[in-house]
Amino acid sequence: MEPVYDTVIGMARTLWLAQGLKFTISGVENVPVSGPGVVAINHTGYLDFTLAGIPAHLQGRRKVRFMAKQEVFDNKVGGPIMRALRHIPVDRGNGAASYQMAVDYLRDGELVGVYPEATISRSFEIKGFKSGAARMALDSGAPIIPTVVWGAQRIWTKGHPKAMGRNNFKIAIGVCEPILPNGTAEEVTQRLHDSMSTKLDELQQMYAQWNGPYPAGEFWVPAKLGGGAPTLEQANALDAAEAAEKAARRAAREQAAGDDAGKN
């Protein structure tokens, strides 16, 4: 029993009920009843992780330890909660410690949640993957549990207002067959990318059958489906520009700090 985690789950379910969210969930049987698993999640919005934990909860009330950026743990309110839930802080300037913590969790039989895309996909398609999920699986012997969430971007995503009130949105969650850690990190990563891309296509098609045709021009609908989201190529260009801008600001701060130190 984990009182804090169970309380957070209860609060999340209450919020979903108040919002009128409607779920269709498939592939719960692909989550191991016991033992480790790298829960690899696509990233379309800020609430993906709360929804991606549902299949594990349905499979024997299992809990997922998510990897999240250090800034969340530094927050005075969120930090203590994240630590109580035994999630894993990720310092992007020194990722070795968080990586080792994740591998240790897996060796202890935990489910560890990761975003192979690293950042939110503005196109709402599957971006290129980092190899971290594959390397964790290879180092720990744990299978990868590909998990795809579709529709969460309607609630809260990058660059668009939140819709946290009663919205009656539909959310689709699909868990793919586990990927065993066989081969190189590159080979495992490619199998993971292929699996999640296929599942996303399935969920997108099913969503249209369930929810009706995709509205043309809507921000949350991918360009390939007639929506207003940027294409994958356009989104990658936006990400690259944003990364360059952040790097420039960081370099400027470091330069300013060095100049101040020189004056003292």
pLDDT at res. 256: 84
Which tokens go with 21? 């969210």
Beta strands, E only, 85-199: 88-90, 111-114, 144-150, 170-175
Distance CA 240, CA 223 (A): 19
Beta strands, E only, 15-135: 22-26, 37-41, 64-69, 88-90, 111-114
Quick check: 220 and 230 in contact, CB under 8 A? no
pLDDT at res. 264: 67
User: What pLDDT, in 10s, does the model give residues 99-131?
Assistant: 999 999 999 999 999 999 999 999 999 999 999
pTM of structure: 0.94
pLDDT at res. 203: 98
Torsion of CA 46, 22, 197, 69, to 10 degrees: 20
Which tokens go with 138? 């290879």
Distance CA 202, CA 27 (A): 13
Instruction: Tell me the one-letter amino acid at 187.
Output: E
Look at residues 25, 23, 50, 20 and name the one whose alpha carbon lies nearest to residue 163.
20
pLDDT along the chain (264 residues), means of 10: 93 96 98 98 95 97 95 91 94 86 98 96 97 98 98 96 96 98 98 98 96 96 98 96 91 82 72
